[in-house]
Chain A
Amino acid sequence: MIRRVLPHGLGRGLLTRRPGTRRGGFSLDWDGKVSEIKKKIKSILPGTSCDLLPDTSHLPPEHSDVVIVGGGVLGLSVAYWLKKLESRRGGIRVLVVERDYTYSQASTGLSVGGICQQFSLPENIQLSLFSASFLRNINEYLAVTNAPPLDLQFNPSGYLLLASEKDAAAMESNVKVQKQEGAKVCLMSPDQLRNKFPWISTEGVALASYGMENEGWFDPWCLLQGLRQKVESMGVFFCQGEVTRFVSSSQRMLTTDDEMVILKRIHEVHVKMDHSLEYQPVECSIVINAAGAWSAQIAALAGIGKGPPGTLQGTKLPVEPRKRYVYVWHCPQGPGLETPLVADTSGAYFRREGLGSNYLGGRSPIEEEEPDPENLEVDHDFFQEKVWPHLALRVPAFETLKVQTAWAGYYDYNTFDQNGVVGPHPLVVNMYFATGFSGHGLQQAPGVGRAVAEMILEGSFQTIDLSPFLFNRFYLGEKTQENNTM
Chain B
Amino acid sequence: MAAPWLSLRLVAPMWNGTRGIHRLGGAVVPEGNQKKERTMLQFLTNHFYDVEALRGYLLQREMSKVHMKNRSFTWLEEQHGPYSAGAFFILKQGGAVKFRDKEWIRPDKYGHFSPEFWNFREVPVEAVDASDCEINYEGLDNLLLLKELQSLSLQRCPHVDDWCLSRLYPLADSLQELSLAGCPRVSERGLACLHHLQNLRRLDISDLPAVSNPGLTQILVEEMLPNCKVVGVDWAEGLKLGPEEQPQDTASPALA
Contact = CB atoms under 8 A, between A and B. Distances in A.
Contact of A148 (B18, B19, B28, B162): B28
Contact of B17 (A155, A212, A224, A238): A238
Contacts of B28: 148, 151
Contacts of B26: 147-148, 150, 225, 229
Contacts of B189: 153-157, 216
A136 interface: yes
B58 to A, nearest CB: 9
A239 B59 CA distance: 31
B242 interface: no
Given A57-B19, A237-B16, A89 B221 contact: no
A200 to B, nearest CB: 14
Given A216-B166, A232-B23, A338-B192, 15 more contacts: A61-B17, A146-B46, A147-B26, A148-B26, A151-B27, A154-B163, A156-B190, A213-B166, A213-B169, A216-B189, A222-B27, A235-B14, A237-B16, A337-B223, A355-B217
A336 B42 contact: no
Contacts of B251: none
A18 interface: no
Nearest to A195: B198
Contact of A355 (B2, B42, B196, B212): B212
A61 B166 contact: no
Interface of A: 57-61, 89, 101, 136, 140, 143, 145-148, 150-151, 153-158, 212-214, 216, 222, 224-225, 228-229, 232, 235, 237-240, 336-338, 355-356
A140 B56 CA distance: 11
Nearest to B54: A145
Given A57-B17, A146-B46, A213-B167, A337 B191 contact: yes
Contacts, number: 116
A156 B163 contact: yes
Interface in B14-63: 14-29, 42, 45-46, 52, 55-56, 59, 63
A240 B19 CA distance: 11
Given A145-B45, A337-B192, A156 B166 contact: yes
Contacts of B220: 336-337, 355
6 contacts: A89-B1, A153-B187, A155-B192, A212-B169, A336-B223, A337-B224
B216 interface: yes
Given A155-B189, A228-B24, A238-B18, A355 B59 contact: no
A216 B163 CA distance: 10
Contact of A338 (B14, B18, B20, B224): B224
Contacts of B45: 145-146
Contacts of B16: 232, 237-238
A238 B20 CA distance: 12
Looking at B17, B42, B52, B187, the one whose CB has the most chain A CB atoms below 10 A away is B17
Interface string B140-160: 000000000000000000000
B113 interface: no
A89 B53 CA distance: 13
Interface string B66-101: 000000000000000000000000000000000000
The 9 closest A-B pairs by CB, nearest first: A156-B166, A338-B195, A155-B189, A337-B220, A225-B24, A337-B192, A145-B55, A238-B18, A147-B26
A336 B21 CA distance: 42
A232 B26 CA distance: 12
In this complex, the member of B19, B27, B137 whose beta carbon has the largest number of chain A beta carbons within 10 angstroms is B27
A336 B219 CA distance: 11
B105 interface: no
B233 interface: no
B123 interface: no
A101 B192 contact: no
Contacts of A228: 23-24
A337 B18 contact: no
A92 to B, nearest CB: 16
A232 B17 CA distance: 11
Contact of A60 (B17, B163, B192, B213): B17
A214 B46 CA distance: 36
Contacts of B20: 57-58
Given A239-B18, A355-B212, A337 B195 contact: yes
Contacts of B19: 57
Contacts of B18: 238-240
Nearest to A58: B17
A140 B213 CA distance: 28
Contacts of A238: 16-18, 21
Contacts of B166: 156, 158, 212-214, 216
Contacts of A235: 14
Of A150, A212, A232, A337, most B-chain CB atoms within 10 Å: A337
Contacts of A57: 17, 19-20
A228 B196 CA distance: 37
Contacts of B42: 146
A98 to B, nearest CB: 10
A63 to B, nearest CB: 12
Interface string B161-175: 011011101000000
A27 B52 CA distance: 61
Given A89-B1, A229-B25, A338-B192, A145 B216 contact: no
Contacts of A240: 18, 21
Nearest to B59: A143
Nearest to A225: B24
Given A157-B192, A337-B191, A148 B17 contact: no
Interface string B95-113: 0000000000000000000
A329 to B, nearest CB: 18
Contacts of A150: 26-27
Nearest to A151: B27
B188 interface: yes
Contacts of A237: 15-17
A259 B167 CA distance: 57
Contacts of B188: 337, 355
A60 B22 CA distance: 17
B228 interface: no
A61 B14 CA distance: 13
A156 B193 contact: yes
A267 B217 CA distance: 58
A143 B28 CA distance: 15
Nearest to B66: A140
Contacts of B55: 145-146
A140 B46 contact: no
Given A156-B190, A225-B26, A337-B220, A61 B15 contact: yes
